[in-house]
Structure 1
């Protein structure tokens, strides 16, 4: 190896060892810092959040007031938020009967765990109003379906109800995976986009689900939300909120900004340290055996 080749190899080695791992570590630190800061500053979009579980405690229906300080341009999205609720456990995730949700009535019912039959699910009437056989397999069954957050909302201003549609609020890729089996034997329409949104598990204990879309501007002023409480004992220890916002499917900035930063940042730091250690050892071997 001549002197020119040796010089080129040394330059490449120094750049790789001193630049790339350090750059990865710095990028990781920046992402972590950005993820932490994103939780303490306001995200640049309009949203209004109001807690209602305390107001509606021990009630079948209740009314809450919402103040819209400035005009919100359409489309405006209506979501609910739940905290202290865990969709990310193995038991919860593994109880989702995907074959049944895809329209297959012949599936392994052991997936449904203790919420298998209509009786165990606490369901008596079908979507079409027919009586459900209590010993039959519930459609759908499982912990995720049992804990479906099915409170109903209506938004009113000056005595007039504002239309909230549930069409187009679920991802198309999700809608393709849900198929009804027999509405006379189902306690819920499995193709309902509100149900579809719920059945996509959240990785965090506090999350938001899109409930509807308002295809008109909301003028500033006082609004009331009529709430019909239909959730079961799965929500006894949770906090529940209603939200108006204008950022569509990405209704939770934690999932969009904070979580990716806090996941990718540590990975880059670890990868950078491993890279630095590996090439540091290789450099020592090169010097020891005098490769150049």
Structure 2
């Protein structure tokens, strides 16, 4: 038989075995010893990772201040020139030095951004700066035109009611618009709005078309951060970053209090936080690893006890 004929025959045999599902396979049979080894390895991995994550999380400095109760007044504009934001001042302390970069978040509670109708209420084509037809903005319902948007927030008078709201939709219309100005022991602290959004959002997903026909700037990174909806009703979103060390001491923050939370029984807070290789302060992942490690260790002890009981009769017979 030639080499070509042998190769064809091997190939035919392989295809037949594959189609009939009779190929050779490794089918390990777990034993008591192998099970003990597997659970010993798993418990070690989970416990080590859990301890590391908890230690790293505890090193993160996190300063949170609720301010909706301290800044209760909200002013709504009546005309293009008549809007004066309700300003309030909040004093707070930073107990430890925070190394740059320090991240500045706002935190909302009881705000359900994961509602299906809310999540769908935007136009991807419009946000990319392209011209749109009604079919492109139909998902924005109930906020398609500026006449719809005016029911929810102030819109400059030069934007016609029958024009498409740019941007349209519920997500954009509920944009968080409080602003913050921070002053520390050494003077004003700059909170930058650069490098806070995802690089993919900055490069391709958000483009202005004509600012004279838009009610807000979609290329602003704070807008991009808001448009990424949160999965849970209590969430933090990045408002800016501080590229200098924040030293311990007394701080004052001036807040333009524009965003109402009473309608959904929510709260507002701002948060100053450092980060590490695993991100910001979040103990959930570390605790999850520890819980899984403890569960695997308990199962391991059960199998070790079972092995001990099996070996005991053998030792008695030998004696």
Partner of 2:216: 188
Deviations 1:102-131 (A, max 9, x none): 1123152221111222232235556xxx72
Partner of 2:66: 51
Deviations 1:118-157 (A, max 9, x none): 232235556xxx7211221111111111111111001012
- Cα separation, partners in 2 of 1:250 and 1:83, compared to 1, 3 Å: farther
Query: Deviation of residue 170 (structure 1)?
Result: 0.9
Q: Does 1:243 align with 2:282?
A: no
Larger Rg: 2
Partner of 1:162: 189
The answer to whether the 8 A contact 1:207-1:252 is kept is no
Partner of 2:105: 79
- TM-score, L = length of structure 1: 0.71
Task: Output the aligned Cα RMSD.
Answer: 3.9
Alignment partner of 2:29: what SS? helix
Match of 1:91 among 97, 117, 127: 117
- TM-score, L = length of structure 2: 0.66
- Cα separation, partners in 2 of 1:218 and 1:43, compared to 1, 3 Å: same
Partner of 1:253: 282
Alignment partner of 1:184: what SS? helix
The 5 Å alignment of 1:1-292 reads: 12-15=28-31, 19=35, 43-59=58-74, 60-107=86-133, 108-122=136-150, 125=155, 131-158=158-185, 160-176=187-203, 177-232=205-260, 236-247=264-275, 250-251=279-280, 253=282, 257=285, 261=288
Partner of 1:288: none
Alignment partner of 2:212: what SS? coil
Q: Which runs of 5+ in 2 are unaligned?
A: 1-24, 75-85, 297-319
The count of corresponding residues between Structure 1 and Structure 2 is 248
The answer to whether the 8 A contact 2:61-2:96 is kept is no
- Cα separation, partners in 2 of 1:235 and 1:102, compared to 1, 3 Å: farther
Partner of 2:316: none
Q: Structure 1 stretches (4+) deviating beyond 6 angstroms?
A: none
